[in-house]
Amino acid sequence: MPIEFSKKLTAHQTPIPGVVLYDLPVHGDNRGWFKENWQREKMLALGLPDFRPVQNNISFNEKAGTTRGIHAEPWDKFISVATGKIFGAWVDLREGPSFGAVFTAELDPSQAIFIPRGVGNAFQTLEDNTAYTYLVNDHWSADAQGQYTFLNLADETAAISWPVPLEQAELSDKDKAHPRLADVVPMPAKKILVLGADGQLGKALRELYAGNASVEFAGRNEFDLTRADSFSARNWKNYSTVINAAAYTAVDAAETAEGRAAAWNINVSAVARLARTAVEHDLILVHVSSDYVFDGTRGIHHEDEPFTPLGVYGQTKAAGDAVVSVVPRHYIVRTSWVIGEGNNFVRTMTSLAGRGVKPSVVNDQMGRLSFTEDIAAGIRHLLESGAEYGTYNLSNDGPAQSWADIAAEAYELAGEARESVSGVSTEEYFKDKPAAPRPLNSVLDLGKIKGAGLAPRDAADALHAYLK
């Protein structure tokens, strides 16, 4: 059958998630034909992942009936035919509900197909002198072969109808020996790596992803962000996403010489190394930001507000945000007044209430609490929903409160009188004390995260649940 010229570039979904068949425009005349086998701009516009190919391979097959596969490699492939024609067969060998799904198609030079990591790939040539080409987004190595997953070409469950019966086809001995589907170990998904997994947010992420083998947790003992060897020792090809829940958060100590150095080292230098790693390995980077990147002089803070940090901590967080923003696939999650497992403002207030203390609490700083379980749920929502990359404000919802308001609620929930808490200005509270400047308004606009399909809990409800 002759090649069909001048097809429109078109994408066709298949029964295997992520496997997409493309019609390619082929231009021909009396001299032969020409096609754009890979055209990044046009294909991205059709929805093809920007899988960043690094190697182009060609398989030349002298005789019709040559059959190769079924191999699932640990990288993505974009496959087409240079000359001749093939019968292609693809089987999903990834962990998950689509394991074992099959798709077959005949391909000539006017078609191409994208095959994600973990989908088994096989073909049978239908014409002599067929050249089969593929772009891949990782370099082949002998070590990588240990991560392959294979399926027998004659597997009865897949039940592929080969045009040339396998007993008449040209097969390798290795392909003949591959296992049946019942004996195949599915290729695991790439992992999410949570850094700072022993902090308040890290603990909430541990609880949220408990039992999920595709999420790996690393505290400082397992991954020290300030050490270059932590990065070089990790095989980043095994990961799709890094959630950075680690940070230097000692706001007042950051104003000292020692604290300033530590804050810049952890919040900026280490983040820059992490961002570079994300760019090099095409990772999604989730980074947690802070209301302290603003000076608190606006009524409500939107994601695109220019940075105006007051103190060293805020300056380092703003610098870290700027670094992460250059990563093509990033989520900056900006929070305020974080409450989670461990020492925090709410626990301090309930402890004081239990001891009958009547504290003076700042009443001119306004904001909303952000409970770590809600931050963790928001991060998972962004990742699983495929939300547009960028910066998202994420706190609990409800009316703005002062620290004194929150303290009074904590006292009431602890069975003590709200009137036990008295208000005091920030200036009075920190008079003659070494302290970092604080934004007086930390209220974050939640319109963007709500537009992405997440409805944060009301802060008052979250506080009640936290204490009860």
Tell me the catalytic residues.
71, 134
**293: nearest Cα among 251, 241, 246:** 251
Residue with tokens 């083998």: 213
Strand segments (E) across 49-176: 55-61, 67-72, 77-83, 86-92, 102-107, 111-115, 119-125, 130-136, 149-150
DSSP state of 21: E
What region, left, alpha or beta, does residue 389 occupy, with left being phi > 0 and alpha being psi -120 to 50 degrees? beta
DSSP state of 138: S
- CA 357/CA 427 separation, integer angstroms: 22
For the four alpha carbons of 6, 79, 284 and 449, in that order, the dihedral sign comes to positive
DSSP state of 183: G
Paired tokens of 394: 């994420």
Residue with tokens 């949570």: 194
Strand segments (E) across 403-453: 422-424
Which backbone phi and psi does 96 adopt, to 5 degrees? 135, 180
**345: nearest Cα among 332, 356, 364, 359:** 359
For the four alpha carbons of 176, 111, 114 and 75, in that order, the dihedral sign comes to positive
Paired tokens of 354: 């239990």
What region, left, alpha or beta, does residue 463 occupy, with left being phi > 0 and alpha being psi -120 to 50 degrees? alpha
Q: Are strands 215-218 and 111-115 parallel, antiparallel or unpaired?
A: unpaired
